[in-house]
Amino acid sequence: GQQLNQSPQSMFIQEGEDVSMNCTSSSIFNTWLWYKQEPGEGPVLLIALYKAGELTSNGRLTAQFGITRKDSFLNISASIPSDVGIYFCAQAKVGGSQGNLIFGKGTKLSVKP
């Protein structure tokens, strides 16, 4: 079935370091979404990408929609303690409705002050 492979599974970094994580799929998609989830909260949308090759920034976050349309990466520059959380990539399910999203398993980010 349709699956998203996220890596790395977890990251332990020092405050101030840059972070990079990615998501790959065997299928081609038209949208890539990146969410962040903090403990006890629901996911919050960080960046949405709608076109192959698109590079979008949101503050210290930058995400790119891979040219092959099968991958995407998320970078965080100059990490701070509040970046701690789980980062998920997500896709609309092929043949599904707009609300039917497939999520990766997440990258858990820990930042040491």
Partner 1 sequence: GAGVSQTPSNKVTEKGKYVELRCDPISGHTALYWYRQSLGQGPEFLIYFQGTGAADDSGLPNDRFFAVRPEGSVSTLKIQRTERGDSAVYLCASSLGTANTEAFFGQGTRLTVV
By CB under 8 A, name the binding residues for partner 1.
31, 40-45, 48, 50, 88, 90, 93, 96-106
Please work out, in degrees rounded to the nearest 5, the angle formed at the alpha carbon of residue 52 by the alpha carbons of 22 and 29. 70
| Of residues 102 and 111, the one with the C-beta less far from partner 1 | 102
- In the complex, minimum distance from the CB of residue 15 to partner 1, in angstroms, rounded to a whole number: 25
| Of residues 1 and 113, the one with the C-beta less far from partner 1 | 1
Three-class DSSP labels, 12-76 = EEECCCCEEEEEEECCCCCCEEEEEECCCCCCEEEEEECCCCCEEEECCEEEEECCCCCEEEEEE
| Of residues 27 and 103, the one with the C-beta less far from partner 1 | 103
- In the complex, minimum distance from the CB of residue 17 to partner 1, in angstroms, rounded to a whole number: 24
